[in-house]
Amino acid sequence: MARRRLLLLLKPFDVYPVAQSDCLSRITNPQILHYLENRQKVHKDAINFCQNILRQKPVEWKPTVRSNLSEPIRDVDLVVTVGGDGTLLQGSHFIDDSVPVLGVNSDPTQPEEVEKLRNEFDANRSRGYLCSATVNNFEHVLDNILESQANPSKLARISIHVNSEVLPTYALNDILTSHPCPAALSRLSFKIKKNDQPCSLLVHSRSSGPRVSTGAGSTAAMLSAGGFPMPILSQDLQYMVREPISPGNASSLMHGLIKSHQSMEATWLSKEGVIYIDDSHVCYSIQDGDAIEISSNAPILKVFLPHHLQNISEET
Instruction: Please choose, from the candidates 279, 273, 270, 237, the residue with its C-alpha nearest in 3D space to the C-alpha of residue 255.
Output: 237
Instruction: Give the Cα separation of 104 and 10 in Å (integer).
Output: 10
Q: Provide the 10 A C-beta neighbour count for residue 7.
A: 23
Structural domain boundaries of the chain?
4-155+301-315, 159-295
Superfamily of the domain at 159-295: Probable inorganic polyphosphate/atp-NAD kinase; domain 2 (2.60.200.30)
Q: What is the pLDDT at residue 24?
A: 64
Find all residues with CB under 8 Å of 16, minimum gap 6, and list them. Answer: 36, 39, 40, 43
Q: Which residue numbers in the chain have pLDDT < 50?
A: 313-316
What does the angle CA 77 – CA 308 – CA 280 come to, to the nearest 5 degrees? 65
Q: What is the pLDDT at residue 316?
A: 45
Instruction: Give the Cα separation of 166 and 18 in Å (integer).
Output: 40
Alpha carbon distances (Å) from 91 to 83, 85, 144, 286, 313: 11, 10, 22, 24, 23
For residue range 292-306, what is the model confidence (pLDDT) as tens digits?
999 999 999 999 999
CA 34 to chain centre: 29
What does the angle CA 297 – CA 89 – CA 136 come to, to the nearest 5 degrees? 130
Classify residue 122 as exposed, middle or buried by CB count within 10 Å of its CB (0-12, 13-18, 19+). Answer: exposed
Q: Do the beta carbons of residue 257 and residue 183 sit within 8 Å?
A: no
| Cα-based torsion angle of the residue sequence 47, 48, 53, 56 in order, rounded to the nearest 10 degrees | 130
Angular region, 111: left φ>0, alpha ψ -120 to 50, beta rest: alpha
CATH number of the domain located at residue range(s) 4-155+301-315 in this protein: 3.40.50.10330
Find all residues with CB under 8 Å of 116, minimum gap 6, and list them. Answer: 123
Instruction: Give the Cα separation of 169 and 191 in Å (integer).
Output: 23
Instruction: Give the Cα separation of 103 and 308 in Å (integer).
Output: 15
Query: Residue 268 in 3-state DSSP?
Result: strand
**Cut 0.75: pTM above it:** yes
Q: What is the pLDDT at residue 196?
A: 82
What percent helix, strand, coil does the chain show, rounded to 5?
A: 25, 30, 45
For residue range 135-186, what is the model confidence (pLDDT) as tens digits?
999 999 999 999 999 999 999 999 999 999 999 999 999 999 999 998 999 9
Query: Residue 104 in 3-state DSSP?
Result: strand
Domains 4-155+301-315 and 159-295 are alike in CATH topology: no
